[in-house]
């Protein structure tokens, strides 16, 4: 089973270049840290990993991590993002969840500005076409 944070990061993987990061940083105001590193080190994300992974595999039981189609990668990333957020809301303290939500919002902005322009984030995705 893949770590949920790795799936969430698919949205920014292809687009995480200096120009995109710079423009998104300006858009967000000033990101003090790297949201990719922050997500990987976030205590709430770590606490929620198992529950979020279970959520992801329930929504996408035939997930294909080898599929490189950008729309599919963005879609599974957005489903993973929602699963991590919903699990974090239950598994973490309010303060921890607030931090996680901020990181996830930054990752959404990076994805929407880069690799996922063709399939921008919206909540409530329940399936991804291959």
49-105 pLDDT, tens per residue? 999 999 999 999 998 878 888 889 889 989 999 999 999 999 999 999 999 999 999
Residue 68: per-residue pLDDT: 84
This prediction has a pTM of 0.80
Q: Please state, in angstroms and rounded to a whole number, the distance separating the CA atoms of residues 52 and 5.
A: 9
Q: Is residue 75 part of a domain?
A: yes
- Domain extent, residue 70, equals 4-113
pLDDT digits (tens, 9 = 90+) for 29-52: 444 567 878 888 899 999 999 999
- Could you tell me which of 71, 50, 73 has the C-alpha nearest to residue 63? 73
Answer yes or no: is pLDDT of 26 > 60.
no
Q: Is residue 129 part of a domain?
A: no
Q: Is residue 119 part of a domain?
A: no
Q: Is residue 86 part of a domain?
A: yes
Tokens of 121: 């984030």
Number of domains in the chain: 1
Q: Please state, in angstroms and rounded to a whole number, the distance separating the CA atoms of residues 125 and 119.
A: 11
Q: Please state, in angstroms and rounded to a whole number, the distance separating the CA atoms of residues 126 and 30.
A: 32
Q: Please state, in angstroms and rounded to a whole number, the distance separating the CA atoms of residues 6 and 18.
A: 20
């Amino acid at each position: 089973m893949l770590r949920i944070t790795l799936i969430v990061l698919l949205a920014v993987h292809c687009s995480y270049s200096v120009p995109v990061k710079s423009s998104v940083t300006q858009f967000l105001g000033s990101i003090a840290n790297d949201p990719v590193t922050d997500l990987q080190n976030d205590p709430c994300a770590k606490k929620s990993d198992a529950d979020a992974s279970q959520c992801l595999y329930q929504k996408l039981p035939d997930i294909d991590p080898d599929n490189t189609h950008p729309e599919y990668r963005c879609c599974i990333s957005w489903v993973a993002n929602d699963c991590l957020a919903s699990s974090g809301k239950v598994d973490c303290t309010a303060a921890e969840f607030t931090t996680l939500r901020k990181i996830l919002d930054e990752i959404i902005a990076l994805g929407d500005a880069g690799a996922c322009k063709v399939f921008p984030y919206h909540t409530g995705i329940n399936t991804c076409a291959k």
